[in-house]
Amino acid sequence: MKLFGQKLPDEVAKRVPPGQRLVKTWPVLQYGPVPAAEGSEWTLEVSGLVEDPFTLTYDELKALGPQDVTADMHCVTGWSTLDNTWTGIPFRVLAERAKPTPEVKWVIAHCEHGYTSDLSMEAMLDDDVLVAWAHGGQDLTPEHGYPLRLVVPKRYAWKSAKWLRGLEFSKHNKRGFWEVRGYHIHADPWREERYSYQEGPRAELEP
């Protein structure tokens, strides 16, 4: 595989999923406008089928104990970036606090302006899933999701929802913004799960 006309070393090439290419800069991608938001007024609501629903301010969330994750990013339009360092709270910490009931199988990310994305609990419980506020040691810029975004490195990046307002635990799947427009509910780049027609007939019932 080539990067900017040069052959990639094998150890780099093998980190790029099928049908993807590395890009030099970090593209900005979203549907709709970038919200003008202030961290001081931002809250994250954790809701749905949980024993202990809660809402945190930006400062309360950050005080839960930040962790860094270094991860690759793969957009379904074809670009990938490697070794992004994110700072945030692991999703697992939020789930442990909320205590989802045993029938929960899905998590719905809710964002400013109504954007949503659905993720299986299994995908969310990976230890590299973060609710993040920084990238490369700097606060996110507005176009990359300030104040808060979800980061799910092992799924195509439309599931790394920017301007995250809430996480809803659910028994049933609720297809998100791109998932109702023909994109895959699981979206594993290594399996090239791009489109909903690739889903099995029972995919939504058996994540």
Ligand X SMILES: Nc1nc2c(c(=O)[nH]1)N[C@H]1C(S)=C(S)[C@@H](COP(=O)(O)O)O[C@H]1N2
Counting contacts by CB under 6 A, is residue 43 touching ligand X?
no
Tokens linked to 207: 């994540």
Give residue for tokens 């793969």.
Answer: 74
Per-residue contact track with Mo ion, 62 to 91, x per CB under 5 A? -------------x----------------
Residues 79-118, mask of contacts with ligand X (x by CB under 6 A): --------------------------------x---x---
51-54, long-range: CB < 8 A, 24+ apart: 51/98, 51/99, 51/100, 51/101, 52/97, 52/98, 52/99, 53/98, 54/97, 54/98
For every residue of 52-63, DSSP letters joined together read S-EEEEHHHHHT
Q: By CB under 6 A, tell whether 29 contacts ligand X.
A: yes
Return the number of the residue (49 or 124) whose C-beta is nearest ligand X. 124
Q: Which of ligand X, Mo ion, none interacts with 100 (beta carbon under 5 to 8 A by kind)?
A: none
Q: Which of 115, 146, 158, 177 binds Mo ion (CB under 5 A)?
A: 158
Work out whether 34 is an interface residue with ligand X (CB under 6 A).
no
Q: Are strands 21-22 and 79-90 parallel, antiparallel or unpaired?
A: parallel
CA distance 45 to 61: 10
Out of 144, 155, 184, 186, name the contact with ligand X by CB under 6 A.
144
Candidates 23-31, 55-63, 89-97, 182-190; binding stretch for ligand X (CB under 6 A)? 23-31
